[in-house]
Chain A
Amino acid sequence: MSYLTVEHLTKNFGGLSAVSNVSISVNEGELVGLIGPNGAGKTTLFNVLTGVYKPTQGKVILNKDGKSIELSKLPPYKITHQGVARTFQNIRLFKDLTVLDNVKIAMNQQAKYGLFGALTRLGKFYASEADIEQRAHEFLKKVNLDDLAYDLAKNLPYGKQRQLEIARAMATGAKLLFLDEPAAGMNPQETHALTEFIAKIRKEMDLTIVLIEHDMSLVMNICERIFVLDYGKLIASGTADEVKNNRKVIEAYLGEEE
């Protein structure tokens, strides 16, 4: 069985079927792309996969350590505890907090004390806090953001904010990442830096990545497999070349005024 299996997933908003009977699967270690014109239902699919919305129909199953977990039954925070994290199309950093605190919050599960320890600072409090702080710094070094550790997230340049959001998602301990338009609004230079960043972290940390891109070129470059959504339906899947030459895909993109 695949790492992630999406079975006949449907999400309706009133009369609108934003995601309609989509079935896909992703293997461990893969980097796959999810493309489609604006309003195709890509973000909605991510929202269902990460528990923000409950599916109208169908289910999402994660196969981890020989166990299959039905993600579609879990609230978002529990999905994150299963090693699945995401970024948002419109950056959602904790913008008034430092880069370091953004990462520490993602590492919150590692705290080894409860309310009593927090209030009295007895027991493992100091050791655990020092440990989290150190891990957060080590992690930031790994993703080349440690020199910005004490800057507020909102003061980072745009490209770095996107990068931090990905880093923060990884800091939860996630092995499966959903990135929603990570290159949106970037100039070619920033997009290039981001592409390298994604390739690097993926290799170093054994990640499985599903990436949404509205713009085809980035996806075509780095994704091994691509899924194409249009009006909520999966209209094609395959390698970049296969998808590029698919008639339905060409029509979907031509039909879009741009």
Chain B
Amino acid sequence: MKNLFSKKNLIWLGLLIVFFFLVQFLIDIRVITPYYRTIVYWVGIFIILGVSLNIIIGITGQLSLGHAGFMSIGAYSAAIVMQNMPDMTGLLLGMLIGGLVSILVSFVVAIPTLRLKGDYLAIATLGVGEIIRIVILNLEITNGASGISNIKNLISWPLLFVFVVLAVVLSANFKNSAIGRACISIKEDEIASEAMGIHTTKYKVIAFIFGAVLASVAGSLYATTYYVVKPETFGIATSINILIIVVFGGMGSLTGSVIATGFIGIINMFLQSFAEVRLITYALVLIVVMIFRPQGLLGSKEFGLDKILGFKPPFSKKLRKEKST
């Protein structure tokens, strides 16, 4: 248990607490106005989406273009449950149901599609996202094209913060484990990975399901934040937006996705008042970034405390040697 309360973890915890209260304070004194708050919520929800897609694409190397589909499962689950239970219990229950449905759907989908590679996989997952959307469009319980509105708005900074931190920490734990290493080895070289005794199909499926569940949780938060869910919200455009976060932040860098989402949120905010040029400017910024940093903001590296505070990896003899000489 010693390691769970390591110096590094405690410093992270401290920073998070400070950050939480700082933002809460800024909200209380209205420096962060209700308008800015909507941007904070957007950023939080898309951090969960970006990080979870990064597990699938950046860590495991499986190009998936259907992420918004899993987001919609969570969104509709929360919306439907909250029709009858417009309170926190309803939201959490909807989230739970959405998560379970996502596990089921992603599992069924993963087995055949993850056999495909590259472009084929991308097209198959694009199809999956569309199928989910069309099913929702035609179901009665989801209210077809008009969707569900008047969902109780329960979002708040503390609620958002808890789920974003949870999602990012779980994703980081996923990455920094034997399971994460297995996934990374698949991305690096699937044939070599299999030859090293890694059951590649199993790990691809695990990564896919893990990402889908987190997307679903983000969807539930989305439903209660925007109090309307419609099938069109969860189309290809949204999947691509999430993909942009992953590419922009750097494939395989979870902290990169977090920073990229914040960045994109701020760009969107500044461009809000120039609706006509917004999409063009947005695209231009992305193109410029991709020209100068094709590997994304952080590449595959993580923003961490190790370098800043001079922590050493636990068994790093070589680094120690270099420092002493």
Contact A85 B170 (CB under 8 A): no
Q: Are A146 and B317 in contact (CB under 8 A)?
A: yes
For residue A132, which residues in chain B have a CB less than 8 angstroms away from its CB? 178
Q: Does A143 lie at the interface of the complex (its beta carbon under 8 Å from any beta carbon of B)?
A: no
Contact indicator A126/B3 (Cβ below 8 Å): yes
User: Are B182 and A96 neighbours in the complex by a CB distance under 8 Å?
Assistant: no
Contacts across chains A and B counted by CB atoms under 8 Å: 113
Select A77's contact among B173, B184, B197, B314, beta carbons within 8 Å.
B197
Q: Chain B interface secondary structure, helix, strand, loop or mixed?
A: helix
**Known pairs A119-B170, A134-B315, A146-B317; A125 contacts B198 (CB<8 A):** no
Residue B174 lies at the interface, judged by CB distance under 8 Å to chain A: yes
A142 at interface, CB cutoff 8 A = no
Residues of B within 8 A of A137 (CB): 315, 317
Asked if A126 and B4 sit within 8 Å, CB to CB, the answer is yes
Query: Which A residues, 87 to 128, have Cβ-Cβ distances below 8 Å to chain B?
Result: 88, 92-97, 101, 104-106, 108-109, 111, 113, 115, 117-121, 125-126, 128
CB distance from B23 to the nearest CB of A (A): 26
On whether the beta carbons of B170 and A81 are closer than 8 Å, the reply is no
A85, B188: Cβ atoms under 8 Å? no
Partner of B177 from the list A86, A96, A125, A149 (CB cut-off 8 Å) is A125
Asked if residues A77 and B188 are in contact (CB atoms below 8 Å), the reply is: no
Contact in complex: B195, A93 (CB < 8 Å): no
Known contacts A106-B197, A119-B173, A121-B173: A133-B314 contact under CB 8 Å: yes
B206 touches A97 (CB 8 A): no
The residue that B196 contacts in the complex, of A85, A118, A121, A126, with Cβ under 8 A, is A85
Chain A contacts with B in 121-154, Cβ cutoff 8 A: 121, 125-126, 128-130, 132-134, 137, 146-147, 149-150
In the assembled complex, the Cα of A105 lies from the Cα of B197 at a distance in Å of 9
> Is A172 on the interface with B (CB-CB < 8 A)?
yes
On whether the beta carbons of A80 and B196 are closer than 8 Å, the reply is: yes
B318:A150 contact, CB within 8 angstroms: yes
B143 at the interface (CB under 8 A from A): no
Which of B3, B185, B192, B300 has the most C-beta atoms of chain A within 10 angstroms of its own C-beta? Answer: B192
B173 touches A105 (CB 8 A): no
What range describes how many residues of A lie at the interface? 35 or more
CB distance from A102 to the nearest CB of B (A): 9
Partner of B195, one of A86, A109, A115, A130: A86
Contact B196 A168 (CB under 8 A): yes
**Contact (Cβ within 8 A) A130 B314:** yes
Interface: B179 (CB within 8 A): yes
User: B316 interface residue, CB < 8 Å from A?
Assistant: yes
Q: In the A-B complex, list the 8 residue pairs whose CB atoms are closest, starting with the nearest.
A: A111-B178, A118-B177, A80-B197, A94-B188, A92-B192, A126-B3, A76-B194, A105-B185
Contact surface of A with B, Cβ cutoff 8 Å: 50, 52, 75-77, 80-81, 85-86, 88, 92-97, 101, 104-106, 108-109, 111, 113, 115, 117-121, 125-126, 128-130, 132-134, 137, 146-147, 149-150, 168-169, 172
Q: A76-B195, A105-B198 are in contact. List 7 more A-B contacts (CB 8 A).
A: A85-B195, A88-B191, A93-B189, A101-B181, A118-B179, A121-B3, A132-B178
